[in-house]
Amino acid sequence: AIEARHLVKRYAELEVLKDVSLDVHEGHVVSIIGSSGSGKSTLLRCMNLLETPDSGDLTIASESLAFSHARRHRPDRRQLQRLRTQVSMVFQQFNLWPHLSVLGNVIEAPMRVRGLSKREAITLGEHYLERVGMADKRDQYPAYLSGGQQQRVAIARALAMEPRVLLFDEPTSALDPELVNEVLGVIHGLADEGRTMLLVTHEMGFARDVSHQVAFLHQGCVEEIGTPAHVFETATSERCRQFVSSVA
């Protein structure tokens, strides 16, 4: 469902992604771990085309894009639009629209991007709010919700796009410890449903539980990748072993 090949991303002199290749098979969960600044968020942002890679190839669902130095490939609007309907991202800071109600947040993109009628979007929105246990707050505004509730609404908003792939960038890092589990529980449920997900997380126990594969990123390279058991127990990279033992 995701095939990234030789992705490179630079900010001026700084090569943030050096040559990243990564597959996420349909129905699989891949977690990305690594220290701060290793390029985890940049990689997710490239998958979502919030950032344009400088070179490499990216296939998401049925949409293939090639990026190159020579003639920097800027996907046209229609391609972007198609890709963005296949991928949804959940951010560390929830990023809910403060002036919209919970339901308003969830129905906005399905109406604007997918072209659903308001009535269709509401039916869909209520379904996914139910799914994350937030149906009873549909008319509430984000400021009146806990962080865990806001993040569950953000997950419902991502689901309402009915994407082929879900991206999560440290979805629980901004939460008070007692709110982490309600969000991890929702993500775990989505994994059990067989959704295709790429997840950046510092929750090692969770990554281990939920992932088919774990990738350890170091200075813009995938330094170790494999099953959770491999990455957490028998990694060949000394840096990966150190990282895992330091956060465990």
Query: Distance between the two ends of the chain, CA-based, in angstroms?
Result: 30
- Which of Mg ion, ligand ATP, none binds 38 (CB below 5-8 Å, type-dependent)? ligand ATP
Which among ligand ATP, Mg ion, none contacts residue 39 (Cβ within 5 to 8 A by kind)? ligand ATP
Q: Which is nearer to ligand ATP, 116 or 187 (CB)?
A: 187
> Within positions 201 to 240, which residues make up the interface with Mg ion, using CB under 5 A?
none
Contact between 38 and ligand ATP per CB under 6 A: yes
Tell me if 84 sits within 8 A of 113, measured CB to CB. yes
Window contacting ligand ATP (CB under 6 A); options: 30-38, 100-108, 205-213, 233-241: 30-38
Interacting residue with ligand ATP among 13, 36, 77, 193 (CB under 6 A): 36
| Element at 242 (helix H, strand E) | helix 238-247
Q: Where in 9-28 is the site for ligand ATP (CB under 6 A)?
A: 11, 14, 16
Query: Helix or strand or coil: residue 151?
Result: helix
48 binds Mg ion (CB under 5 A): no
Chain CA centroid to CA 52, Å: 16
For residues 90 and 166, the answer to whether their CB atoms sit within 8 Å is yes
Beta strand segments in the chain, E:
2-11, 14-24, 29-33, 55-60, 63-67, 87-90, 165-169, 196-200, 213-218, 221-226
Selection from ligand ATP, Mg ion, none that 131 binds (CB < 5 to 8 A by kind) is none
Instruction: List, in order, residues 6 or more apart from 145 with CB less than 8 Å away.
Output: 102, 137, 153
Report what 27 binds from Mg ion, ligand ATP, none; CB cut-off 5-8 Å by kind: none
- By CB under 5 A, is residue 41 in contact with Mg ion? yes
Q: Does 105 bind Mg ion (CB under 5 A)?
A: no
Sites of contact with ligand ATP (CB under 6 A): 11, 14, 16, 34, 36-42
